């Protein structure tokens, strides 16, 4: 116990007060910061914690369950003790009330009628004067945190460690969803995060305050009084929340600068205007080294993607509806976990290499993901695709030779013959399953398969023809001819 603090046990020892303990002996070591009269059924929104609440009894409910709830409400708000005036308006106290006091270690005291409440308040005020001087000193030192930021260039973790030592609180920072708000400062237990920024600042054992930012609160600062420390009070915690808001603004500005610089680097890499050595140096500045991969991400906003990739080194560039991401292949796990995403990833390659081939691979994989409904497709996972060359000229020749007539037929008749063949093949030639996926009758699908054989001259019951058509379909998808991107004849391209 910190003997520099006034405790409930100390108050019981003051002869002039003549206080008597009715229940809650286990909480006699609780610190008392103030004594205040309240006749409200629920004074907790106006409390800071460690108060002794005094009442003539008007605030005490008569029903047993409500008496217990009243005491538990005060205890949850951090009230040090409840003092009841004898012989005034206190109703009969039920066993449930006393049981709650004993279970929680919540001291319930009786004040004799001869001792006015003002006398109790004066005794408490005089006893805590020394603690008030200590709080003022802590406030002045914490207010100097801005000077540390300017003169010592402290990192976030070191800054908040200093603030913790001076304030007497363990400090936590989090977003409204419970994620860490600033690097180096831990997030609290989600159970203590307020449901609203308008919630009272007092929580059991400390305070919870919003961290303000442009556009609205960015999260919360949770401060718990440290055992054996001398907590400096709400004013200091409020100032720490202000420091957190300033630090957050600095971090966001730095991140935005890095993000824009990264987008410029990725744009230059996609345009192939950087030599490998320069590219590697610039990537290293963004902590990108070792094996890398290029992703094309669709179906999610840039803000959602940034949140998903937070803390993982990457470059991000938006091009129309596509988001290009360059970084470690492990980024794919975070991207694939996003709801509604359709993403494609290239094969891994050394950092600094030209992105021409990787871009084509990622675009093909993203289109394949969108068509198949899978969140992420990695180029090369397709067992047929590995046999296809990278050269688009060779791919175009293959598609024209095998599928050219079918593509032209679909374009001229606005039909779905070739997509029907592809769906049938992807479902291992199960006609009923493929017809259900296409929302057509099995007989309609069977007709389209026969018509394809007539137009292309390739009987799909033949193993050789089937393999040739399948490879050509994969090549057409890689060239963007199977997803509605281009309906011109292959020869026109």
Per-residue pLDDT tens digits for 326-354: 999 999 999 999 999 999 999 999 988 88
Query: What CATH number corresponds to the domain at position 372?
Result: 3.30.70.270
Tell me, yes or no, whether 294 lies in a domain.
yes
- Residue 266 has which token pair? 């990725």
Contact yes or no for 51/33 (Cβ under 8 A): yes
Mean pLDDT of 273-278: 89
> Which has the closest alpha carbon to 23: 87, 100, 90, 113?
100
Q: Which domain, by its residues, includes 420?
A: 387-492
pLDDT tens, position by position, 381-430: 755 555 666 677 888 888 999 999 999 999 999 999 999 999 999 888 99
Residues 65, 159 share a domain: no
- Give the residue, 66 or 202, on which the prediction is more confident: 66
What is residue 234's predicted lDDT score, i.e. its pLDDT?
82
Question: Which DSSP state fits 385?
Answer: G
Class of residue 468 by CB neighbours under 10 A (exposed 0-12, middle 13-18, buried 19+): middle
Beta-carbon neighbour count of residue 12 at 10 Å?
Answer: 16
Q: What is the pLDDT of residue 86?
A: 87
**221 in a structural domain:** yes
pLDDT at residue number 130: 57
Q: What backbone phi and psi angles, to 5 degrees, belong to 178?
A: 95, 5
Contact of 473 with 403, CB cutoff 8 Å: yes
The set of residues, in sequence order, having a beta carbon less than 8 Å from that of 209 and lying 6+ positions away, is: 201, 220, 221, 223, 237, 238, 241
Token pair 């029903």 is at which residue? Answer: 63
Q: Where is pLDDT greater, at 52 or 147?
A: 52
Nearest-angstrom CA–CA distance, 326 and 315: 5
Domain boundary among 381, 409, 428: 381
Percent of the chain with pLDDT over 90: 46
- The C-alpha atoms of residue 211 and residue 201 are separated, in whole angstroms, by 12
- Render pLDDT for 129-183 as a digit per residue (tens, 0 to 9): 655 555 555 555 565 555 655 566 678 888 898 888 888 899 999 998 898 989 8
Domain count along the chain: 4
Residue 456, burial from CB neighbour count under 10 angstroms (0-12, 13-18, 19+): buried
Q: Within 13 Å and on the Cβ side, how many CA atoms surround 278? A: 9
Report the Cα 235 to chain-centroid distance in Å.
28
Q: Which of 222, 251, 280 is the last residue of a domain?
A: 251
Measured distance CA(409)–CA(493) in Å, rounded: 16
Is the same domain home to 229 and 280? no
Pairing of strands 169-174, 219-225: antiparallel
Same domain, 324 and 235: no
pLDDT tens digit sequence for 420-453: 999 999 888 999 999 998 999 999 999 999 999 9
Spatial distance between the Cα atoms of 13 and 31, rounded to a whole number of angstroms: 14
**Looking at the domain assignment, is residue 267 inside a domain?**
no
Cβ atoms within 10 Å of 49's Cβ, excluding its own: 23
Answer yes or no: is 439 within a domain: yes
Task: Compute the distance between CA of residue 80 and CA of residue 74 in angstroms, rounded to an integer.
Answer: 9
Do residues 326 and 269 lie in contact, with contact meaning Cβ atoms separated by under 8 Å? yes
Q: Which of 48, 34, 33, 232 lies closest to 143, judged by CA? A: 232
Residue pair 16/119 in contact (Cβ under 8 Å)? The answer is yes
Q: Say yes or no to pLDDT of 493 above 50.
A: no
- Which pLDDT score, from 0 to 100, does residue 202 have? 85
Rounded CA separation 11/128 (Å): 12
**Domain endpoint, select from 127, 143, 166:** 127
């Amino acid at each position: 116990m910190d003997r520099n603090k006034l405790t409930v046990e100390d108050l019981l020892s003051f002869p002039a007060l003549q206080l008597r303990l009715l229940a809650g002996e286990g909480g006699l070591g609780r610190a008392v910061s103030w004594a205040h009269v309240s006749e409200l059924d629920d004074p907790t929104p106006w409390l800071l914690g460690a108060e002794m609440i005094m009442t003539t009894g008007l605030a005490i409910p008569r029903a047993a369950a409500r008496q217990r709830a009243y005491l538990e409400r005060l205890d949850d708000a951090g009230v040090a003790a409840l003092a009841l005036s004898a012989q005034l308006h206190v109703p009969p106290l039920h066993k449930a009330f006393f049981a709650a006091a004993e279970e929680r270690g919540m001291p319930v005291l009786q004040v004799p009628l001869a001792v006015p409440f003002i006398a109790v308040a004066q005794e408490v005020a005089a006893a805590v004067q020394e603690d008030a001087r200590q709080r003022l000193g802590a406030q002045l030192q914490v207010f100097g945190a801005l000077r540390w930021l300017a003169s010592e260039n402290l990192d976030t973790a070191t800054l908040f460690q200093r603030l913790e030592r001076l304030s007497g609180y363990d400090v936590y920072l989090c977003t409204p969803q419970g994620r860490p708000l600033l690097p180096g400062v831990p997030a609290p237990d989600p159970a203590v995060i307020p449901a609203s920024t308008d919630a009272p600042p007092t929580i059991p054992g400390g305070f919870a305050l919003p961290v303000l930012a442009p556009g609205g609160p960015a999260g919360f600062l949770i401060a718990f009084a440290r055992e054996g420390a001398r907590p400096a009070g709400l004013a200091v915690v409020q100032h720490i929340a202000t420091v957190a808001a300033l630090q957050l603004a600095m971090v966001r500005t730095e991140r935005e600068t890095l993000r824009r610089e990264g987008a410029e680097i990725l744009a230059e890499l996609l345009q192939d205007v950087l030599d490998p050595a320069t590219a590697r140096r610039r990537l290293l500045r963004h902590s990108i080294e070792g094996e890398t991969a290029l992703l094309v991400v669709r179906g999610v906003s840039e803000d959602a993607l940034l949140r998903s990739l937070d803390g993982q080194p990457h470059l991000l560039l938006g091009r129309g509806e596509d988001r290009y991401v360059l970084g470690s292949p492990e980024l794919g796990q975070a991207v694939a976990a996003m709801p509604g995403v359709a993403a494609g990833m290239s094969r891994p390659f050394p950092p600094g290499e030209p992105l021409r081939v990787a871009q084509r691979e990622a675009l093909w994989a993203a289109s394949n993901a969108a068509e198949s409904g899978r969140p992420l497709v990695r180029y090369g996972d397709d067992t047929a695709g590995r046999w296809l060359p990278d050269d688009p000229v060779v791919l175009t020749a293959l598609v024209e030779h095998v599928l050219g007539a079918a593509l032209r037929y679909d374009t001229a008749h606005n039909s779905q013959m070739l997509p029907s063949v592809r769906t049938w093949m992807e479902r291992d030639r199960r006609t009923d399953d493929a017809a259900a996926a296409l929302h057509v009758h099995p007989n309609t699908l069977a007709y389209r398969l026969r018509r394809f054989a007539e137009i292309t001259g390739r009987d799909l019951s033949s193993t050789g023809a089937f393999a040739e058509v399948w490879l050509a379909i994969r090549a057409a998808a890689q060239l963007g001819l199977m997803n509605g991107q281009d309906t011109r004849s292959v020869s026109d391209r």
